[in-house]
Structure 1
Amino acid sequence: MQNILDNCEVVPMVNQIEFHPGYIQKDVVDFDKKHGIVVEAWSPLGRERVFKDKLLNKLAEKYGKSVAQICLAFSLQMDVVPLPKSSSVERMKQNMDIDFELEKEDFEKILNMEETGWSGLDPDKF
């Protein structure tokens, strides 16, 4: 990845990547942070497939929040800007109500959870 920046005249300000619990692309996130590039998460809710994850549901119950809110809090604690998509006004409001932080041990559990997979969408082919 360093070669990419070596060949750039201008270093990008933002890198938009698929990012959600179970697919965090840690190497990319670490690289971007090291180079002062803001990471922006598309699909921060994992296209809803993470909503069935037992760990995330258990944490949602523990914090009295939705799984979506757990995913968004995780993104924010990773210093990744989440871009959730919703057509529901109620869910939009809920997505903005991230008034809590995950405890360190819960954050670590999400950080180390098994890969849930990616969307299969290649941003270079859109």
Structure 2
Amino acid sequence: MAMLLSFLLIIFLPFLLSLITKKIKDSKHNLPPGPKKLPIIGNLHQLQGMLHRYLHDLAKKHGPVMHLRLGFVPMVIISSKEAAEEALKTHDHECCTRPNTVAARVFSRDNKNIGLGA
């Protein structure tokens, strides 16, 4: 029985690992370019000095739309007028939605308030 179990493990383990790595690689294809990140802190170690100058240098290097990770929070930085217009006019529903939380529903009377409403 132990030999059969180890044989099945040897057969299926590479298959499972290939599926997991494929999903990780596929999810990274939809992100815009950005600087290299560290595993836990992301790009926080690179934010030093004047932030606006650092972001300007990154925009020159990676383009007007770039991906940064600040800790565990992924961020897409848009630094050109044309890219901002496209994101806010044509893709506004995907970019500008807020999560529907219990606190927002309670304080804004089922999201009917102008300040917290969706």
Q: Per the shorter chain, which TM-score range?
A: under 0.3
Question: What TM-score do you get using the length of structure 2 for normalisation?
Answer: 0.26
- Which has the larger Rg? 2
| Greater relative CO (CA pairs within 8 A, separation 6+) | 1
Question: What TM-score do you get using the length of structure 1 for normalisation?
Answer: 0.25
